[in-house]
A and B are shown apart, each in its own frame.
Chain A
Amino acid sequence: MSGQRYQQLLADLRADYRPQREWGEGRGVLLVVGHFLVGIAGGTWLLSWWFGITAGLMTAVLLGGLGGLGHLAFLGRPERAFKMVRHWRTSWISRGFVGLTLFLAGGCLHLAFELAAPGGLAALIAGLAALAGTLTIIGYMGFTYTASKGVPFWNSPLHPVLYIAYAVRGGVAMLLVLAAFGHASGAALMPLWLVVTGLVALLFALELQGAAAGSDVAARRSVHDILAGRLAAIFYGGTLAIGLGVPLALGAAGGNYPVIMALVGLTSAAGDFFMKLSTVRAGVYRPLIVPRQRHRG
């Protein structure tokens, strides 16, 4: 038997630390894309709802739809996706699916009603449904990872908070892009972006620190993979440089130019994508035999 994926699988099964490769690699990238888009969608909806930016709401629904498609395309059996409603009692994926459905349906209806009769009750109900959906989808992702007991790195209770913070940062980023096109006011957004970015960075640093200092060898391995291993390039290049360095530099250079705002938004979002990609890919299964510590001397 040959084939690169197969060879990779055998190599992983042989390895002391077996990386998960189903989410985030190959077609699994679609899942990260899905999570990424849905996260931004949620954040965008929230902020747009708050600030009352209709273009933002529309963008959110659009991104949510695309994100949903990403999820679907990732599934081994997308034609059975409707079965995912079944187990909402315990499954975050199931909840996420219900939430996304609610969000998309509610969002579309809300926008339709708003278009037909602005300010009506139907629009409000639909909007609230979408809001409930939003809260579910921005929450579900983090919990999905936290519930993944096989991958200790993700088990941190910070993970859901982090994903919610991401969603907000994504929302801000999206609004920055929209602001560049005049659909929102940029003035309040840059400071907000800075605050949220600071929060995200803090949460992420705490999460890494927690994993690195914790007793779980697999989690430590994940941190190592991000900071100094197979994901370092994505992390330093994607997450830090593109997602943090570039927007900071751009913002300092002239945060009020529309082009720059858009660029800040886009690079910030790209950084989030890489951030998600690296944390997802850094997932290492809990080893069944704790690998021997290398003897020195």
Chain B
Amino acid sequence: MTAAECEHQQRLSSEPRAGDDVWIPSACALCYGSCSIQVHRVNGVAIKIEGNPESAVGKGRLCAKGVSGLMVHYDPNRLTKPLRRTNPVKEIGVDPGWKEISWEEALTEIVGHLKRIRAEDPRKLVIQRTTTVTANKNPFQAFAFGFGTPNLSVAGGGLHCGNGAHLISGIMHASWGILPDFQYCNYAMYFGASKGHSAGHASTSNMGMAADARARGMKLVVFDPMCNFAAAKATEWVPLRVGTDAAAALAIGNVIANDLGAIDAPYLKGKTNGPYLIGPDGRYVRDKDGKPLVWDLMAGAARPFDGAAADDMALEGSFEVDGVTCRPSFALLKEHLRQYTPEWAEKITTIPAANLRRIAEEFAREARIGSTIVIEGVTLPYRPVAAIAFRGNQGHRNSVYNFLAVDLLNHLVGAADVVGSCLGFPPVVDGHPDSGRPHYVPVATPDGLMEVGQWMGWHHPYPVEDPKLPKTLGLQGLFPMGMVSPFLDAPDREHWWERFGIEYRPEMLINFGANLLMSIANKDTMAASLAKYEFIVSIDLFLTETSDFVDIVLPDCSYLQSVDSRSNFPTIFSHPAGMGDWSWPIRQPVLPPDGEQRRFADVLLELAERTGFLPDMIAAFNAILELEPPYRLDGGRRYTYEEICDAELKHNFGPERGLEWFRENGVIRWKKKPQEVYWRPFLDVRVPIYWEWMPDIGEKAAALADPRGLEMPLEYYRPLPDWLPCHSHEVEKPGFDFFAFYYRDTLHTNSYTMENAWLDEAAQLDPFSYNVAINAEVARARGLANGDLVEIESDTGRKITGRLRLTECIHPEGLGIAALANHWAKGLPTAMGKGVFFNDLLELDWKRTSPVNLNLDLCVKVKVTRAAE
């Protein structure tokens, strides 16, 4: 099919008929939640978006952003024509001199670059995509695989959503993230997460479930420097110093394990590596077949972990195996925790020791270790407590320990993927009753530890590969527990590329949406990085700050003009957990493209065809979508994206349920089974409470990194978590006495929605959205008042300005800033000048990067002074 035909078809499939009055089911894309929507179209104009009650994704309700989507769609600043820059100077705020060009011209020029690069070294192509449109993952991944570049990244660089959360949730819960089992949980602790309070995954569905839990009497204890969203609804807000979550969690763990002895021994024995024997080298003691050993108390001897009854395994004590003294890993954990007294934690976190103790006691008591409950006729373990974390907790250099220390609390009391406990986003799906698809379950690796059955990222979280000399621009090879990387844009990247022998340099960038200039770090560093590219293509809805660095801008279709068989990433991404229904919704066009807008997925297919790697891209689609005959795509054919979506749907749900069926129905749903939701007792997989592989990974990484001048701090690579300070905790400059931190505004998605006039208006009315939250008493003591314009200076001398909002709802040392704001792009007139640009304070450097998962630290030590009006 030619481009023109393809465009024609796009138009036809969404062409509104005169006098029409229809509700069309589809999917939101104002954030990655992808809630199911229905759009009311009258006489060709979309006049209302509502939730689709037929779907579990959103459950018929939408957040403030979701209901405001039409303002994005109909924004007169939307791009409608391909643009080419005429001004070669790429600098912040310098007008690129846009000139409208035809698609033919644009594609020809892009294909010219793609062909040359693919012939030279395909890795010179970098692809960046926003997280906001979840459905972009598969087309871009297929494109990148097909083209042959591993340099595919999501926006945020080192600031990606869950650098710690995703991989650790993957290792410990086979999931993309964790949350309480709202339906049964009685006591939840949140560490820097807002789940159920208008951000995060499955945001809208969780709002309802969290409210039900509140009504039911679930206690919620929120550790957060700010009493913003979850904390506002909590039974107890526990303010803490930014970035010190691990200290609090370790102290709670200490009280639980040592003072109270409130552990779920059968769980630890049967479902974790707690009984695995650890030798003096910190590694598993293995039998001659390489199987980790446990101590069988009945036999009084060591046995392979799968050769003894779990009940008989020792969790504590010291044993001799073949002359080696060894101890169960749980014993090591318990002993390790002993150093973290609540008094010690109080100094670090500012949380009174007595409170930590009390909370630990409450958590342990509420866990009801040993109890069971019957759900739909199935008897299941009942542990109605959960310790949860997300962006705020692990958005620090100590990302891994901060998150792991929290999750370990669940595992101590056996509150993992059983009734009432900490749940993963659904990692076990038996499939639709008719087709048995989708179907995936976590499986056991030879060591007995769990490997996920389904995953969104490049590599499974576990087993962890060995570090190797990196081949990608983000140096990810060195960091097998990382995903996205700040090295892609860091000011010293050239140095490291050289040191690590990266033999190519980035030349071309394809950017999908991501507003790199605002979402990753300070704008100057990002500008310098982007200015280095020879050629940048951006597929976007608007001319953003990032567009100033782009050579060709392609006008995308909005979510109301697009199609996708996986609007979200069924089902482990933004699907609600807990009992209820499974839903697989789609996105379909409600409106035709405006002007010359084209759907990005079809543009990618077109580019692949013209460049000459379409068969590779199709093959990649087959692999990613796991398509099997008769729905396997034929590498020799040119497909439209709709056809690919059709194939995937038929493959999953049978020939009668292709795109046509889904267009009519919007979503397919079926009931969840208790065995899927509360899968832990049913699967013979274990999770590591002792990260045995860590020192090894650290040493191997260090062996590669240290000689090249990248110092690998091994204290981050221990098998058991610790609290390590962020850079901000070590700044001693006088006058720098606030920890500035970032949080998500309920009205905005990152930097994107500021241009949405309805949301912007509402945010202007909100006391916090566009202001800097500061503790009222502290501010007054310095003569600062509500509405004062202040300058916020980082310890490295970067400055931003903002207006103060005095509040009792924030830690005295905290400075809370919402959203990625204060746009300056002319293409975003509504957004321009609103709010505070927190990220301009951030450095993109190794000192502030997690040496394990490459997460960039979000807390900055700052000085606050009144600024001239």
| Physical contact A–B (CB less than 8 Å) | yes
**Cβ-based interface call for B86 (8 A):** no
A1 near B761: Cβ-Cβ < 8 Å: yes
* Other-chain contact of B765, A1, A10, A295 (Cβ < 8 Å): A10
* Neighbouring B residues of A10 by C-beta, 8 Å: 761, 764-765
Complex: how many Å from CA A52 to CA B776? Answer: 66
* Neighbouring B residues of A295 by C-beta, 8 Å: 776-777
In the assembled complex, the CB of A287 is this many whole angstroms from the nearest CB of chain B, namely 14
**Cβ-based interface call for A13 (8 A):** yes
In the complex, which residues 730-774 of chain B have their Cβ closer than 8 Å to any Cβ of chain A?
Answer: 757, 761, 764-765, 767
In the assembled complex, the CB of A171 is this many whole angstroms from the nearest CB of chain B, namely 46
**Cβ-based interface call for A5 (8 A):** no
* Neighbouring A residues of B757 by C-beta, 8 Å: 1
In the assembled complex, the CB of B268 is this many whole angstroms from the nearest CB of chain A, namely 49
Chain B residue at minimum C-beta to C-beta distance from A10: B764
In the complex, which residues 796-847 of chain B have their Cβ closer than 8 Å to any Cβ of chain A?
Answer: 830
Over the window 207-232 of chain A, the binary record of Cβ atoms lying under 8 Å from chain B Cβ atoms (1 yes, 0 no) is 00000000000000000000000000
Complex: how many Å from CA A13 to CA B761? Answer: 11
**Cβ-based interface call for A14 (8 A):** yes
In the assembled complex, the CB of B844 is this many whole angstroms from the nearest CB of chain A, namely 35
* Other-chain contact of A14, B765, B776, B777 (Cβ < 8 Å): B765
* Neighbouring B residues of A1 by C-beta, 8 Å: 757, 761, 830
* Neighbouring B residues of A13 by C-beta, 8 Å: 765
Complex: how many Å from CA A295 to CA B808? Answer: 11
Complex: how many Å from CA A191 to CA B830? Answer: 61
In the assembled complex, the CB of A14 is this many whole angstroms from the nearest CB of chain B, namely 6
* Neighbouring B residues of A14 by C-beta, 8 Å: 764-765, 767
In the assembled complex, the CB of A1 is this many whole angstroms from the nearest CB of chain B, namely 6
Over the window 1-16 of chain A, the binary record of Cβ atoms lying under 8 Å from chain B Cβ atoms (1 yes, 0 no) is 1000000001001100
In the assembled complex, the CB of B839 is this many whole angstroms from the nearest CB of chain A, namely 26
* Neighbouring A residues of B776 by C-beta, 8 Å: 295
Chain A residue at minimum C-beta to C-beta distance from B776: A295
In the assembled complex, the CB of B180 is this many whole angstroms from the nearest CB of chain A, namely 31
In the complex, which residues 460-509 of chain B have their Cβ closer than 8 Å to any Cβ of chain A?
Answer: none
In the assembled complex, the CB of A274 is this many whole angstroms from the nearest CB of chain B, namely 29
Complex: how many Å from CA A60 to CA B830? Answer: 52
* Neighbouring A residues of B767 by C-beta, 8 Å: 14
In the assembled complex, the CB of A290 is this many whole angstroms from the nearest CB of chain B, namely 16
* Neighbouring A residues of B765 by C-beta, 8 Å: 10, 13-14
Chain B residue at minimum C-beta to C-beta distance from A11: B764
Chain B residue at minimum C-beta to C-beta distance from A13: B765
* Neighbouring A residues of B777 by C-beta, 8 Å: 295
Complex: how many Å from CA A14 to CA B765? Answer: 5
Chain B residue at minimum C-beta to C-beta distance from A292: B808
Chain B residue at minimum C-beta to C-beta distance from A296: B780
Complex: how many Å from CA A65 to CA B761? Answer: 42
In the complex, which residues 1-33 of chain A have their Cβ closer than 8 Å to any Cβ of chain B?
Answer: 1, 10, 13-14
Over the window 764-792 of chain B, the binary record of Cβ atoms lying under 8 Å from chain A Cβ atoms (1 yes, 0 no) is 11010000000011000000000000000
Over the window 381-395 of chain B, the binary record of Cβ atoms lying under 8 Å from chain A Cβ atoms (1 yes, 0 no) is 000000000000000
Complex: how many Å from CA A14 to CA B761? Answer: 11
In the assembled complex, the CB of A155 is this many whole angstroms from the nearest CB of chain B, namely 27
Complex: how many Å from CA A146 to CA B245? Answer: 57
Complex: how many Å from CA A14 to CA B771? Answer: 13
In the assembled complex, the CB of B828 is this many whole angstroms from the nearest CB of chain A, namely 14
In the complex, which residues 78-124 of chain A have their Cβ closer than 8 Å to any Cβ of chain B?
Answer: none
In the assembled complex, the CB of A5 is this many whole angstroms from the nearest CB of chain B, namely 14
In the assembled complex, the CB of B777 is this many whole angstroms from the nearest CB of chain A, namely 8
In the assembled complex, the CB of B703 is this many whole angstroms from the nearest CB of chain A, namely 58
In the assembled complex, the CB of B229 is this many whole angstroms from the nearest CB of chain A, namely 19
In the assembled complex, the CB of B401 is this many whole angstroms from the nearest CB of chain A, namely 38
* Neighbouring A residues of B764 by C-beta, 8 Å: 10, 14
In the assembled complex, the CB of B702 is this many whole angstroms from the nearest CB of chain A, namely 53
Chain B residue at minimum C-beta to C-beta distance from A14: B765
* Neighbouring A residues of B761 by C-beta, 8 Å: 1, 10
In the assembled complex, the CB of B244 is this many whole angstroms from the nearest CB of chain A, namely 28
In the assembled complex, the CB of A2 is this many whole angstroms from the nearest CB of chain B, namely 9
Complex: how many Å from CA A10 to CA B776? Answer: 23
In the assembled complex, the CB of A76 is this many whole angstroms from the nearest CB of chain B, namely 22
Complex: how many Å from CA A14 to CA B830? Answer: 19
In the complex, which residues 226-265 of chain A have their Cβ closer than 8 Å to any Cβ of chain B?
Answer: none
Complex: how many Å from CA A1 to CA B757? Answer: 7
Q: Which of B764, B776, B830 has the most CB of A within 10 A?
A: B764
Complex: how many Å from CA A13 to CA B830? Answer: 19
Chain A residue at minimum C-beta to C-beta distance from B780: A295
Complex: how many Å from CA A10 to CA B760? Answer: 11
In the assembled complex, the CB of A162 is this many whole angstroms from the nearest CB of chain B, namely 35
Chain A residue at minimum C-beta to C-beta distance from B785: A294
In the assembled complex, the CB of B70 is this many whole angstroms from the nearest CB of chain A, namely 16
Complex: how many Å from CA A13 to CA B776? Answer: 22
Complex: how many Å from CA A10 to CA B757? Answer: 13
In the assembled complex, the CB of A271 is this many whole angstroms from the nearest CB of chain B, namely 34
In the assembled complex, the CB of A32 is this many whole angstroms from the nearest CB of chain B, namely 29
Chain B residue at minimum C-beta to C-beta distance from A16: B786
In the assembled complex, the CB of B334 is this many whole angstroms from the nearest CB of chain A, namely 46
In the assembled complex, the CB of B76 is this many whole angstroms from the nearest CB of chain A, namely 13
Complex: how many Å from CA A242 to CA B612? Answer: 86
Chain A residue at minimum C-beta to C-beta distance from B767: A14
In the complex, which residues 135-173 of chain A have their Cβ closer than 8 Å to any Cβ of chain B?
Answer: none
Complex: how many Å from CA A295 to CA B830? Answer: 36
In the assembled complex, the CB of A253 is this many whole angstroms from the nearest CB of chain B, namely 46
In the assembled complex, the CB of A128 is this many whole angstroms from the nearest CB of chain B, namely 54
Complex: how many Å from CA A13 to CA B762? Answer: 10
In the assembled complex, the CB of B759 is this many whole angstroms from the nearest CB of chain A, namely 12
In the assembled complex, the CB of A289 is this many whole angstroms from the nearest CB of chain B, namely 11
Chain A residue at minimum C-beta to C-beta distance from B764: A10
Complex: how many Å from CA A14 to CA B805? Answer: 12
Complex: how many Å from CA A202 to CA B830? Answer: 51
Complex: how many Å from CA A141 to CA B565? Answer: 65
In the assembled complex, the CB of A258 is this many whole angstroms from the nearest CB of chain B, namely 52
In the assembled complex, the CB of A203 is this many whole angstroms from the nearest CB of chain B, namely 36
In the assembled complex, the CB of B517 is this many whole angstroms from the nearest CB of chain A, namely 25
Complex: how many Å from CA A96 to CA B776? Answer: 49
In the assembled complex, the CB of A148 is this many whole angstroms from the nearest CB of chain B, namely 24
In the assembled complex, the CB of B770 is this many whole angstroms from the nearest CB of chain A, namely 10
Complex: how many Å from CA A295 to CA B765? Answer: 24
Complex: how many Å from CA A295 to CA B764? Answer: 26
Complex: how many Å from CA A13 to CA B777? Answer: 25
In the assembled complex, the CB of B531 is this many whole angstroms from the nearest CB of chain A, namely 33
In the assembled complex, the CB of A275 is this many whole angstroms from the nearest CB of chain B, namely 31
In the assembled complex, the CB of B305 is this many whole angstroms from the nearest CB of chain A, namely 59
In the assembled complex, the CB of B755 is this many whole angstroms from the nearest CB of chain A, namely 13
Chain B residue at minimum C-beta to C-beta distance from A7: B764
Complex: how many Å from CA A14 to CA B763? Answer: 10
Complex: how many Å from CA A295 to CA B777? Answer: 9
In the assembled complex, the CB of A251 is this many whole angstroms from the nearest CB of chain B, namely 46
Complex: how many Å from CA A1 to CA B765? Answer: 14
* Neighbouring A residues of B830 by C-beta, 8 Å: 1
Chain A residue at minimum C-beta to C-beta distance from B758: A1
Chain B residue at minimum C-beta to C-beta distance from A2: B829
In the assembled complex, the CB of A239 is this many whole angstroms from the nearest CB of chain B, namely 30
In the complex, which residues 340-391 of chain B have their Cβ closer than 8 Å to any Cβ of chain A?
Answer: none
Complex: how many Å from CA A1 to CA B831? Answer: 10
Complex: how many Å from CA A14 to CA B769? Answer: 12
Complex: how many Å from CA A13 to CA B764? Answer: 10
In the assembled complex, the CB of A15 is this many whole angstroms from the nearest CB of chain B, namely 10
Complex: how many Å from CA A42 to CA B822? Answer: 56
Complex: how many Å from CA A295 to CA B776? Answer: 9
Closest 5 CB pairs of A and B: A10-B764, A13-B765, A14-B765, A10-B765, A1-B757
Given contacts A1-B761, A295-B776, 8 further A-B contacts (CB under 8 A): A1-B757, A1-B830, A10-B764, A10-B765, A13-B765, A14-B764, A14-B765, A295-B777
**Can you list 12 pairs linking A and B with CB atoms under 8 Å apart?**
A1-B757, A1-B761, A1-B830, A10-B761, A10-B764, A10-B765, A13-B765, A14-B764, A14-B765, A14-B767, A295-B776, A295-B777
Chain A residues engaging chain B, CB cutoff 8 angstroms: 1, 10, 13-14, 295
